[in-house]
Amino acid sequence: MIDLILAIVFVLVAPVIGALVAGVDRKVTAHMQGRVGPSILQPFWDVGKLFEKEKAVVNETQIFYAVCYLVFMVFTGALFFAGGDLLLVIFALTLSQVFLALGAFAAYSPYSYVGAERELLQIMAYEPMVILTAVGMFVATQSFNVSDIIATKVPVVLVIPGIFLGFVYILTIKLRKSPFDISTSHHAHQEIVKGVTTEFSGPTLALIEVTHWYETVLLLGILFLFFGWNPLLAVIAIIVLYLLEILIDNTNARVRWQFAVKSAWLVALIVGIINLAALYFLSGGVP
């Protein structure tokens, strides 16, 4: 019963929290650039205006894919906060991202095609590290269930520090921040053509923005797992790490997709595999 309540709370509250995080992001970014910036509530107004606009799409299937993108993201987050299997959470998250790329491919636009291809490249870049994160959680807590990982008294971040650093690295890709915002960006400072979201507009684009809010809360929830034994420390770590992501976003230019993929795989190989191998040998070869 509690699991169901937590899932419902996520569905209802996550977009509010995600929008507020986006508002704080834009406000802090503006101050870093010497501007006053919009209100923290601006994301709500922006999405509200998008829902009021006329529905205009190149291909009707774009709407279907955008809805699937939202539905699977909501399902992923609800499963996570209900304490479900972390591996299933990761697979559902990946499927959600694939629907976004399919929606871009359905637009028959060269700019949209490039954005969709780069979206798939981003998935290829971060997926190994995300899977290693789930494996690392299992090694540290002997369970893939989110509820068990949160309830553990094991300081997970101290058991798998390499995997934690690797996840923080690919978090920049997941949050679509510079230097790894190769398929699209949440801010207007990158380019006029918005990559994977180029051909989305009006209510359909609003659905995508709301989905991003859900995804942000989910990613912060995964960060929480590393510090689950101390909730206060977890909240502080999340705030510090997100501010660090904003700083990185505003002090780095976009890199080429080749570097994004190679560096993410290299990080997964070095910090992820070595961390797991060290745990294996320290435990005397007992998994």
Nearest to 161 by CA among 138, 180, 141, 133: 133
**Of 163, 137, 135, which is closest to residue 150 (Cα–Cα)?**
137
Place of tokens 């996570």: 80
Distances 167 to 127, 172, 265, 267, 275 between C-alpha atoms, Å? 10, 9, 12, 9, 13
In this prediction, residue 286 carries a pLDDT of 47
Residue 55 has what pLDDT?
81
- 114: part of which helix (H) or strand (E)? helix 110-141
Phi, psi of 145 (to 5 degrees): -75, 130
- Is the pTM above the cut of 0.85? yes
d(CA 104, CA 147): 35
Encoded amino acid at 219, one letter: L
Phi, psi of 191 (to 5 degrees): -165, 160
For residue 283, what pLDDT is reported? 67
- pLDDT mean values, one per 10 residues, the chain (287 residues): 89 96 93 87 93 83 93 96 94 94 88 88 93 93 92 91 94 90 67 72 92 96 94 95 93 86 90 87 61
pLDDT of residue 192: 46
194 vs 255: CA distance, rounded Å = 16
Residues in the chain: 287
Per-domain boundaries in the chain: 2-282
User: Contact, 213 vs 18, CB < 8 A?
Assistant: yes
